[in-house]
Amino acid sequence: MGFWSEYSVFLAQAVTIVLAIIVVVGFIAAVGQKNRREGHIEIKKLNDKFEDTKDQFEHELLSKEELKEKHKALKKEEKEKKKALKKEAKEQTSEQQEARNKRVFVIDFDGDVHASAVKSMREEISAVLTSAEPCDEVVVRLESPGGVVHGYGLAASQLDRIRKKDIPLTVCVDKVAASGGYMMACLANKIIAAPFAIVGSIGVVAQIPNIHKLLKKNDIDVELHTAGEYKRTLTVIGENTDEGREKFKQDLQDTHDLFKSHVSQYRPELAIDKVANGDIWYGTEALNNNLVDQVMTSDEYLMQLADEADVFEVKYEVKKSFQEKLGMAASMGITRSIDKLLTRFLDSRTQIR
């Protein structure tokens, strides 16, 4: 009996290891193929989503008699509206008849340190610009704590393409638009922030570790050769000089001045020297400091627009391969297992005994 018990444990371990290897190999293969696959634009009309949600909610809340009366009233309203539109169309000129509803195009940007989401956003903006006109509007739901200057500089330049076409641009911030995130947000004609959204951080930071003293203590020499006086100012393993530090600080200051100039160009009403100190503000405070134009959530704003305009969500999607789906499923499974173990551990520590 002991043999079969040990064999079962061994077999279970072996199967687990083999499955883990398959998942890892599949994930690596998927990552290698990811950059070679083409994506596509997906468009979803949010008006329909809002209406479906409303209908579903009413269906659960109202009685059969109330639903019947509501449908009857809606049919009557639609009939009268069609009649009015038909009459109006006869009285209108050909130019008036060509007029259409305002269209709102919604794009999401969820930024990391490298502003990786710019890859999808540039495709989405290119697609929107093929159809959008100055009578329309682009809404960007932006969330980012900032990151590298060149990444967010490119992301801001993508939003500037919308401004150059004279299409109204609105940026909605529900959680955070700081540093590079605000570099993007300030290009908008209108910035809307939730009451507790974090906005600002107009500053520049750089942090470089240095292990030269540790290497020197262990008699390890490091040689650094450059062509150009400022090719390398501060290093991780070499000995840094006061001259190099001063040059590095000057580069940071130059970047900060460029950042302030960029913000001032698009939000001239800002007291830039007051807000460009690296500090952050919450929604209402940001409004008082002219960092944003309105305090409201993106959901509220889009639902208001849907009453008068056709609202479309635009996404650039890359179809995931089977290997990627397998890798993501495995990753989610591991995450859930760790969460459960941590929860059980915390529960055991907080029990009343």
The tens digit of pLDDT for each residue in 236-290 reads 888 888 888 888 889 889 999 999 999 999 999 999 999 999 999 999 999 999 9
Spell out the domain ranges in the chain: 1-36
Could you give the residue numbers annotated as active site? 179, 231
pLDDT at 304: 92
pLDDT at 330: 61
pLDDT at 325: 58
pLDDT at 97: 43
Low-confidence ranges of the chain (pLDDT < 70): 1-37, 50, 52-64, 66-68, 70-71, 73-74, 77-78, 81-100, 320-353
Tracing tokens 């072996």 back to the chain, one arrives at 14
- 115 CB burial (10 A radius; 0-12, 13-18, 19+): buried
Tell me the CB-side half-sphere exposure of residue 291, using CA atoms within 13 A: 33
pLDDT at 352: 44
Phi, psi (degrees; rounded to nearest 5) at 210 = -140, 125
Q: Are strands 102-110 and 137-143 parallel, antiparallel or unpaired?
A: parallel
pLDDT at 218: 85
pLDDT at 44: 92
pLDDT at 225: 79
Residue 148 to residue 156: CA distance in whole angstroms:
12
pLDDT at 343: 58
